[in-house]
Structure 1
Amino acid sequence: MNKIANRMKRWMTNQLQLPADVVMDLPRITMIGQLHIYIENHQGVLRFSSNELRLLLKHGQLLIKGEGFILKTILPEELLLEGKINQVLFINENENT
């Protein structure tokens, strides 16, 4: 049933020209150089330190590594992170890290 729902969402996205991040619950990530990253449509903060941010996504996790991190804005489904960003990694649901 889940495969059918995903196919239907993809079809709606293509046929109705709707944004994929809205229809398929994907995160929208806007990065400005290595200094700022703005993330929308996340499910919550799992871990935060001055050199790592881990977010829960609908399908997996997002891991951001760097230095001197400061959360400038944090809202239920969006956040703005400042600092030197070295890595942005998507972790699938079935991977263990």
Structure 2
Amino acid sequence: MSWHNRKKQIQQQVANVFDIPRDLMMDLPKVVLIGDVQVLVENHRGIMIYTPEMIKVSTTIGDLAIAGTDLTLKNILPDEIMVEGRIKSLIFAG
């Protein structure tokens, strides 16, 4: 088992023992979809593409592509963004 895989396994065990949310312990992105009109992305690493049809966000587990129409960034903070518009798909590419 590689060091990276072992480290992840240990982090998961610690999160379970101390009842810590995995997204905090393992620096995972948290994606909340509200209907087809809003997406909240926490723990992002930056915006890579921003058009009215596509917003691509970098995360620790790969890129998240948000496709739709009339997409806008409503909230941009160092660790979270809010996308609004007509959401058609969310795709993780690692």
State the Cα RMSD in Å. Answer: 0.8
**In structure 2, what is the equivalent of residue 48 of structure 1?**
50
Q: Percent identity?
A: 29
Gaps of 5+ in 2: none
Instruction: Give the CA deviation at 1:15.
Output: 1.3
Once the two structures are superposed, the pairs formed by residues 1-97 of structure 1 within 5 Å of their partners are: 1-92=3-94
Gaps of 5+ in 1: 93-97
Instruction: Give the CA deviation at 1:19.
Output: 0.3
Q: Describe the superposition over 1:18-57 as per-residue Cα deviations: whole angstroms up to 9, x where unpaired.
A: 1010011111111110011111100000101001010111
Query: Which stretches of structure 1, 4 residues or more, deviate above 3 A after TM superposition?
Result: none
Counterpart of 2:57, as a letter, is: L
Normalised by the length of structure 1, the TM-score is: 0.90
